[in-house]
């Protein structure tokens, strides 16, 4: 086993895997950031809007009840952006915005309505009330759920391997297909275990570390609130 690992994990292959991991994290960060921004807008429309709320609700339900990979393929075919990655990111951002909007909407609904009236009595506009009073409390309350979604986003980046984006799973699959050039023998179950086991370990370490860090953060927030 150790000899096989040494044959597969050359310096070039390790660098290739690290580059794939970097692409995975980049996709996840852009998706989470963009999805949270757009999701916040959808959640505000859905919670406080009338006609805009109905439109936002339809958008959310469409994306929540259809698979991400479907929208990735639609974006690849229909979005007029120059690169494959940028088109795929449009799909991942909008798809996750629909899910995140429901998380945020739950947080918004947990804030007492009287705080909006209190803000208005102080002369704040609706936008100021949202920015300075409602949204900070909302995001503090939804940190655990939002973290769960961020973990899902990191795992879902693997879907982009299907369209040739060089993220972690694409890199591992490519190394798998050429493993015989490094080992000098046909690909075996041991090679599959080593390469896909490495990918699984990387995903696990990142997501587990993220879960632990956010749980500690949530405990500190809870203590501060109390």
Secondary structure E strands in the chain: none
Quick one: how far is CA 28 from the chain centroid?
A: 5
Is residue 222 predicted with pLDDT exceeding 70? no
Other beta carbons within 10 Å of 139:
15
Residues 57-78: tens digit of each pLDDT: 999 999 999 999 999 999 999 9
pLDDT on residue 74: 96
pLDDT on residue 116: 87
Tally of domains in the chain: 1
| Phi, psi dihedral angles at 224 (to 5 degrees) | -65, -45
CATH code at position 197 = 1.10.3720.10
- State the DSSP string of 196-220: HHHHHHHHHHHHHHHHHHHHHHHHH
Residues 210-220: tens digit of each pLDDT: 888 777 777 76
User: In the chain, pLDDT over 90 holds for what percent of residues?
Assistant: 59
Who contacts 71 (Cβ-Cβ below 8 Å, separation ≥6)? 63, 91, 94, 95
Q: Which residue range forms the structural domain that includes residue 63?
A: 2-225
Structure tokens at 129: 């009330």
Residue bearing tokens 């050359």: 10
Is residue 226 predicted with pLDDT exceeding 70? no
Among 125, 107, 85, residue whose Cα is nearest residue 40: 107
Residues 23-56: tens digit of each pLDDT: 999 999 999 999 999 999 999 999 998 888 899 9
Structure tokens at 209: 């570390």
pLDDT on residue 18: 95
- State the DSSP string of 162-178: GGT--SHHHHHHHHHHT
Structure tokens at 131: 């920015």
Confidence category of residue 6, pLDDT binned at 50, 70, 90:
confident
Judge contact between 108 and 49, C-beta under 8 A: no
CA distance 83 to 89: 10
Helix, strand and coil content of the chain, in percent to the nearest 5, comes to 85, 0, 15
């Amino acid at each position: 086993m150790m000899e096989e690992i040494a044959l597969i994990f050359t310096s070039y292959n390790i660098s290739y895997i690290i580059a794939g991991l970097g692409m995975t994290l980049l996709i996840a960060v852009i998706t989470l950031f963009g999805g949270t921004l757009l999701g916040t807008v959808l959640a505000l429309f859905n919670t406080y809007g009338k006609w805009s709320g109905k439109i936002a609700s339809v958008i959310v339900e469409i994306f929540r009840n259809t698979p991400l990979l479907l929208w990735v393929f639609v974006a690849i075919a229909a979005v007029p952006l120059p690169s494959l990655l940028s088109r795929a990111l449009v799909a991942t951002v909008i798809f996750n915005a629909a899910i995140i909007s429901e998380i945020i909407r739950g947080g918004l609904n947990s804030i007492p309505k009287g705080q909006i009236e209190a803000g208005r009595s102080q002369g704040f506009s609706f936008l100021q009330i949202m920015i300075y009073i409602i949204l900070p409390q909302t995001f503090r309350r939804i940190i655990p759920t939002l973290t769960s979604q961020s973990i899902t986003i990191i795992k879902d980046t693997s879907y982009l391997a299907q369209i040739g984006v060089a993220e972690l799973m694409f890199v591992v699959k490519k190394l798998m297909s050429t493993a015989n050039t490094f080992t000098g023998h046909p690909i075996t179950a041991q090679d599959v275990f080593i390469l896909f086991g490495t990918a699984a370990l990387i995903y696990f370490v990142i997501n587990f570390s993220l879960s632990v860090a956010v749980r500690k953060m949530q405990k500190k927030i809870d203590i501060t609130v109390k």
